[in-house]
Structure 1
Amino acid sequence: MNLLKLQMSAVALAFASASAAAAPTVIEATAFTFSNPDSTVADVLVSDADGATTIRFSDFASSMAVKSSDADGNAYSGDLNFAVRSGYHITGYSFSATFAGTLDAAVAPGGQAGTASNRGSVSLLASAPSGWSTGGNRQASQLNGNDAFVFSAANLSLRESMSMSLNGSMTVFAMPASWTTPDGVVHSQDSWAGLALLNPTLTVYTSAVPEPETYAMLALGLAVIGLTRRTRRLQEGTAQA
Structure 2
Amino acid sequence: MGPMNLITLQLGAVALAFASATATAAPTVIEAKTFTFSNPDSQLADVLVSDTGSATTIRFSDFASSMAVKSSEADGTDYSGEMSFAARSGYLITGYSFSATFAGTLDAAVPPGGLAGAGTASNRGSVSLFASGADNWSRNGNRQVKLLNGNDAFVFNAGNIMLTQMSMSLNGSMTVFATPASWTTPDGVVHSQDSLAGLTLLNPTLTIYTSAVPEPETYAMLALGLAVIGLTRRRRQGRAAQA
Q: Determine if the TM-score, normalized by the shorter chain, exceeds 0.5.
A: yes
Q: Which residue is equivalent to 1:175?
A: 179
SS at match of 2:203: strand
Q: Which residue is equivalent to 1:197?
A: 201
Q: Distance in 1 between matches of 2:76 and 2:132?
A: 29
Deviation (angstroms), 1:224: 5.5
Contact 2:56 2:207 in 1 (8 A): yes
Deviation (angstroms), 1:227: 6.7
Structural mapping, 1:1-241, within 5 Å:
11-49=14-52, 51-109=54-112, 110-158=115-163, 160-223=164-227
Gaps of 5+ in 2: none
Q: Distance in 2 between matches of 1:9 and 1:174?
A: 46
Q: Distance in 1 between matches of 2:188 and 2:12?
A: 57
Q: Distance in 2 between matches of 1:30 and 1:6?
A: 41
Structure 2: which amino acid aligns with 1:125?
Answer: F
Deviation (angstroms), 1:175: 1.0
Aligned residue pairs, count: 237
Deviation (angstroms), 1:6: 7.3
Between 6-15 and 66-75, report the one with greater CA deviation: 6-15
Deviation (angstroms), 1:171: 0.7
Q: Distance in 2 between matches of 1:127 and 1:231?
A: 50
SS at match of 1:213: helix
Q: Distance in 2 between matches of 1:70 and 1:7?
A: 42
Aligned identity (percent) is: 78
Moved over 4 A (4+): 1-11, 221-234
Residues 174, 9 of structure 1: alpha-carbon distance in 2 compared, 3 angstrom cutoff? farther
Q: Distance in 2 between matches of 1:120 and 1:58?
A: 18
Give the TM-score taking structure 2 as reference length: 0.86
Deviation (angstroms), 1:212: 1.0
Deviation (angstroms), 1:129: 3.3
Q: Distance in 1 between matches of 2:152 and 2:135?
A: 34
1:114-151: CA deviation from partner (whole Å, max 9, x where unpaired): 11010110001000133211111111111011111111
SS at match of 1:17: helix
Deviation (angstroms), 1:223: 4.7
Give the TM-score taking structure 1 as reference length: 0.87
Structure 1: which amino acid aligns with 2:170?
Answer: L
Residues 107, 46 of structure 1: alpha-carbon distance in 2 compared, 3 angstrom cutoff? same
Contact 2:34 2:53 in 1 (8 A): no
Deviation (angstroms), 1:217: 2.7
Structure 1: which amino acid aligns with 2:73?
Answer: D
Between 222-231 and 206-215, report the one with greater CA deviation: 222-231
Structure 2: which amino acid aligns with 1:83?
Answer: A
Q: Distance in 2 between matches of 1:17 and 1:188?
A: 44
Contact 2:128 2:171 in 1 (8 A): yes
Residues 17, 177 of structure 1: alpha-carbon distance in 2 compared, 3 angstrom cutoff? same
Q: Distance in 2 between matches of 1:69 and 1:11?
A: 37
